[in-house]
Amino acid sequence: MPFEYNTSMKCLSEIFFLSDPTVVARALLGKRLVRRLNGRRISGIINETEAYRGEDDLACHAHRGKTRRNAVMYANGGRAYIYFTYGMHWCLNAVCGAEGYPAAVLIRALQPEEGLDLIAAHRPGVKPALWCNGPAKICKAFNVDGELNGSLLTDSSNPLFIEEGIKVEDKSIHTSARIGIDSTPEPWHSIPWRFMITNEVGAC
């Protein structure tokens, strides 16, 4: 998927993240995740997301209430929720909604743009097509870990943020059930809150 990048793109505002996570998950497709590292930019176009909404969502980390691990999910939208899983992987989410309501969007995959040499160094021996095609892979490629948990994604002076990217038409979006939640009961197991870009889209 060919992309062009523009380093003058605006960072997303807090208002962008105050909507329902299903709305934000769709809207994040085509946006650009940026990691500043040692004076360099690593970036990529987000092409797959999943929404997790509130304590009623049995696939959401907050379904048992507020804990030390998920506390940032209860913050105002626009912060990074970064958690450790399987004893080895970090995963990046964007917190959504108003303060006190736990919701977030998992960044599942992206198309790398800038800092490809840095990504290659972080993903040695891995083919470029597999650098960022999973949430834990993104964190490895972008050198993201728990130190950045709670970071504002709406401030381009921060080491991690999200900015405008490319326009994605509805016809290029596919939805499906979220993955990796096999033990979650219905309707949460099958609800189509996974959003993906399925066709090439043009830069704007």
- Measured between alpha carbons, how far is 47 from 111 in angstroms, rounded to an integer? 7
Q: For 14-23, 85-94, 131-140, 186-195, which range has the lowest pLDDT when averaged over its residues?
A: 85-94
How far from chain centre, in Å, is Cα 36?
16
Mean pLDDT of the chain: 92
pLDDT of 203 higher than 70: no
Written as six digits, the tokens of 48 are 């797959």
pLDDT exceeds 80 at position 6: no
Looking from the CA of 71 toward its CB, the CA atoms found within 13 Å total 5
Quote the pTM value: 0.91
Strand partners, 82: 92
pLDDT in tens, 137-159: 999 999 999 999 999 999 999 99
What is the predicted pLDDT for the residue at 8?
58
